[in-house]
Amino acid sequence: MPDLYDVAAIGNAIVDVIAPATDAFLADNRLDKGGMMLVDAAQSAALYARMAAGVETSGGSAANTIAGLASFGGKVAFMGKVADDKLGEVFTHDMRAGGALFENAPLVGGPATAACMINVTPDGQRTMSTYLGASVALTDDDIDQAVVEAARIVYLEGYLFDAEAARRAFAKAAGFAHGAGRMIALTLSDGFVVERHRGGLMGFIETQVDLLFANETELCALFETDDFDAAAALLRPHVKLAAVTRGAAGSVIVSPQGVIAVAAEPVEKVVDTTGAGDQYAAGFMFGLSRGLPLAQCGRLASLAAAEVISHYGPRPQVSLKDFAASKGYL
Amino acid sequence: MPDLYDVAAIGNAIVDVIAPATDAFLADNRLDKGGMMLVDAAQSAALYARMAAGVETSGGSAANTIAGLASFGGKVAFMGKVADDKLGEVFTHDMRAGGALFENAPLVGGPATAACMINVTPDGQRTMSTYLGASVALTDDDIDQAVVEAARIVYLEGYLFDAEAARRAFAKAAGFAHGAGRMIALTLSDGFVVERHRGGLMGFIETQVDLLFANETELCALFETDDFDAAAALLRPHVKLAAVTRGAAGSVIVSPQGVIAVAAEPVEKVVDTTGAGDQYAAGFMFGLSRGLPLAQCGRLASLAAAEVISHYGPRPQVSLKDFAASKGYL
């Protein structure tokens, strides 16, 4: 198969509602700061009614990564499920406008398009409450074999481990990808996702995953330890390649050749950390898909994360290609 | 009547879609840079399909002003028309979350909630294409007499001069306001609106308006001249008080006591000029409603405009009350 895509991703198709919040608001609404919790339609409506005025923007972890890759100039495809409603139109428009292939038919007659309410505290930390809606209607029927086989990297969003049908979709995509000699990347997404599915995730990582993305919390959750260095050492025999983010402390790339520490790109003011991990993955995979050295992949990753945390919203507001070039990183 | 509100505004209830664009995109789509054009549903859909990925945020000129006043700590009310759809919910939520009274029933079975597609070029200039949808269904039945009579200032959005029913609503509101000894403020909104309704606007200004907001282009359109100083001199006999904005050149306040020049507040980088005039009006009317000297009203106006043009979107992203206090303006 020709390399039609640098990255094809499978993830939740979500529109974000981003609003400023105080720490007291998080406490009053029993929101776990920095985390992601799932809410049903009624909880979603009740929380929205209490939130501050917000901004709506297409989100979804892997979808944000795809938008970042497109901003670097990458060729990308996305698989996920929206409903045939206004937010579904918005999500679809934003994916395609960024240049991504996105062809899954919207869900008709079911739940609404997924929405994630993101409360951002003055320290820039984001706390997410997600109504999954139509996004969990993704099944293995939505996996396009031709697209998967034509992508250098197939990127899977760990959040989807919560839905059985999506886990089957992952298995199907992994089969197609490895059958075509492609690389499978996975992001662990969230510490609670890891706790809920530790065994299943570990099995999937060992048998299917060529590149693992995680943050410190998620990696520690995977190995049930509070010691980051211990977790990193435990990870090494399980994966070929991993990139683990540590917020302002930068990230580490774990590979057969050893461990590379990558500094965080300096940011004048952290406005909203939403999408930091998603854009890190975008920069890293863009570099990897172009055959760049791992240290350079890490620099591109850090740069993309720095751009996105300097403003509200989970997707880049500048051309990451131009930004990276201006810094001499590309 | 007690002063329950600092400002009650009547305007279009619009949700904005904001996306980056090139000057070539404006030319290809025959968009008049810096202006506002009206589009129908089909034109709106066609333009949206060609636009870049965007961000959705509640907008509408007078509604943005109300959001700015709320951010200063003002007590505010808004009258306008949404449809009973997703964007209508978003607009309503954002108005109420900011603390504004907004009680008009959504339109059922008619056109969708109004949407304004805003293409922002790299110089920060915004070019707007507005689908008015449900917003033009506003009639004089939507004017709440008790609210108008309890507001220090009743603020009217000039864009509504395009709709006959809304002009009747303005007349009704002006009658209530003056009957209760209140002040009527009007913004001219747009040069083409002025050209379409010059006679009607002039008559309304002379008979009803106590405070006029305009930018340079609109004021020149009103008096059919290219000479700003000539236009300002022509304006003086017609209004008690006016504030005319001139972009980076600041603004001038025209009053019976003479003309006060107000410097623009410095901005590090102009990202998106959307909402600059709206927030200028917010700062000015907040000062006026608190009985502050005109020069101080102008400083608050310039500060609010500076905040909003330093980021994407037409509404403040910080507390204008705190921002003004930090600058020593309040």
Mutate to test the interface with B, among A94, A268, A322 (most CBs of B within 10 A): A94
How far A128 CA sits from the closest chain B CA (Å)? 18
Per-residue tokens: B19:
């996306």
Q: Answer whether A90 sits within 8 Å of B51, measured CB to CB.
A: no
pLDDT, one tens digit per residue, over B119-178 is: 999 999 999 999 999 999 999 999 999 999 999 999 999 999 999 999 999 999 999 999
A87 in Cβ contact with A112 (< 8 Å): yes
At residue B23, φ and ψ (nearest 5 deg) are: -65, -35
Contacts of B37 (CB under 8 A, 6+ apart): B31, B128, B129, B130, B192
How far B91 CA sits from the closest chain A CA (Å)? 9
Residues paired with residue B77 on neighbouring β-strands, in sequence order: B8, B101
Residues paired with residue A244 on neighbouring β-strands, in sequence order: A214, A252
In the DSSP assignment, the letter for residue B85 is S
Provide the ipTM: 0.90
> Does B88 reach chain A within 8 Å, measured CB to CB?
no
In the DSSP assignment, the letter for residue B107 is B
Q: Answer whether B51 sits within 8 Å of A97, measured CB to CB.
A: yes
* Closest residue to A53, CB basis, from B19, B53, B58: B58
pLDDT confidence tier of residue B2, bands split at 50, 70 and 90: confident
> Does A26 reach chain B within 8 Å, measured CB to CB?
no
Paired sense of beta strands B5-10 and B76-79, if any: parallel
A45 in Cβ contact with B44 (< 8 Å): no
How far A116 CA sits from the closest chain B CA (Å)? 14
Q: Answer whether B55 sits within 8 Å of A57, measured CB to CB.
A: yes
To the nearest whole percent, how much of chain A has pLDDT over 70?
100
The pLDDT of B38-56, averaged and rounded, is 96
Find how far residue A98's CA is from the centre of its chain.
Answer: 16
Using alpha carbons only, what angle is made at residue B193 by residues B190 and B198, rounded to the nearest 5 degrees? 120
The pLDDT of A68-75, averaged and rounded, is 98
Contact map slice: B 174-203 vs A, CB within 8 A: none
Q: Under the phi-then-psi rule, with left for phi > 0, alpha for psi from -120 to 50, and beta for the rest, what region is B189? A: left
Q: Say yes or no to pLDDT of A230 above 70.
A: yes
Beta strands in chain B (DSSP E): 5-10, 14-20, 36-38, 55-59, 76-79, 114-120, 126-131, 151-157, 183-187, 211-215, 241-245, 251-255, 258-262
Contacting residues of A for B317, CB less than 8 Å apart? 20, 312
pLDDT, one tens digit per residue, over B57-105 is: 999 999 999 999 999 999 999 999 999 999 999 999 999 999 999 999 9
pLDDT confidence tier of residue B17, bands split at 50, 70 and 90: very high
To the nearest whole percent, how much of chain A has pLDDT over 90?
97
**CA A38 to CA A45: how far, in whole Å?**
13
Residue of B nearest to A70 (CA): B53
Q: Say yes or no to pLDDT of A70 above 90.
A: yes
Question: A5-13+60-111+135-326 adopts what CATH topology?
Answer: UDP-N-acetylmuramoyl-L-alanine:D-glutamate ligase (3.40.1190)
pLDDT, one tens digit per residue, over A254-293 is: 998 889 999 999 999 999 999 999 999 999 999 999 999 9
pLDDT confidence tier of residue A1, bands split at 50, 70 and 90: low
Contacts of A186 (CB under 8 A, 6+ apart): A155, A156, A158, A204, A205, A208, A209, A211, A212, A213
Q: Say yes or no to pLDDT of A28 above 80.
A: yes
Q: What is the mean pLDDT of chain B?
A: 96
Contacting residues of A for B85, CB less than 8 Å apart? 86
Q: Say yes or no to pLDDT of B1 above 70.
A: no
Q: Answer whether A56 sits within 8 Å of B56, measured CB to CB.
A: yes
How far B6 CA sits from the closest chain A CA (Å)? 20
Superfamily of the domain at B5-326: Ribokinase (3.40.1190.20)
> Does A99 reach chain B within 8 Å, measured CB to CB?
no
Tokens 């034509």 appear where? A150
pLDDT at A157: 98
To the nearest whole percent, how much of chain B has pLDDT over 90?
97
The pLDDT of A153-170, averaged and rounded, is 95
Residue extents of the structural domains in chain B: 5-326
Contacting residues of B for A97, CB less than 8 Å apart? 19, 51-54
Burial class (CB in 10 A: 0-12, 13-18, 19+), A259: middle
The pLDDT of A70-83, averaged and rounded, is 98
Contacting residues of B for A98, CB less than 8 Å apart? 52-53
Q: Answer whether A97 sits within 8 Å of B317, measured CB to CB.
A: no
How far A315 CA sits from the closest chain B CA (Å)? 10
HSE-CB of B329 using CA atoms within 13 angstroms: 24
Give how far Cα B45 sits from Cα of B32, B50, B54, B86, B115, Å. Answer: 18, 9, 14, 17, 11
Burial class (CB in 10 A: 0-12, 13-18, 19+), A229: exposed
pLDDT at B220: 97
Contacting residues of B for A56, CB less than 8 Å apart? 55-57, 90
Q: What share of chain B is helix, strand, coil (3-state, %, to 5)?
A: 45, 20, 35
Going across the sheet that includes B258-262, the strands are B76-79, B5-10, B151-157, B183-187, B211-215, B241-245, B251-255, B258-262
**CA B4 to CA B21: how far, in whole Å?**
42
Find how far residue A28's CA is from the centre of its chain.
Answer: 28
A5 in Cβ contact with A155 (< 8 Å): no
* Closest residue to B86, CB basis, from A86, A98, A313: A86
Q: Compute how many other C-beta atoms are within 10 angstroms of the C-beta atom of residue A317.
A: 18
The pLDDT of A208-233, averaged and rounded, is 96
Q: Answer whether B52 sits within 8 Å of A97, measured CB to CB.
A: yes
Mutate to test the interface with B, among A86, A116, A321 (most CBs of B within 10 A): A86
What is the count of residue pairs from A and B with beta carbons less than 8 Å apart? 62
Contacting residues of A for B93, CB less than 8 Å apart? 48-49, 51, 53-54
Per-residue tokens: B267:
């901005």
Contact map slice: A 291-330 vs B, CB within 8 A: 311-313, 315, 317
The pLDDT of A234-253, averaged and rounded, is 95
At residue B151, φ and ψ (nearest 5 deg) are: -110, 130
B191 in Cβ contact with B219 (< 8 Å): no
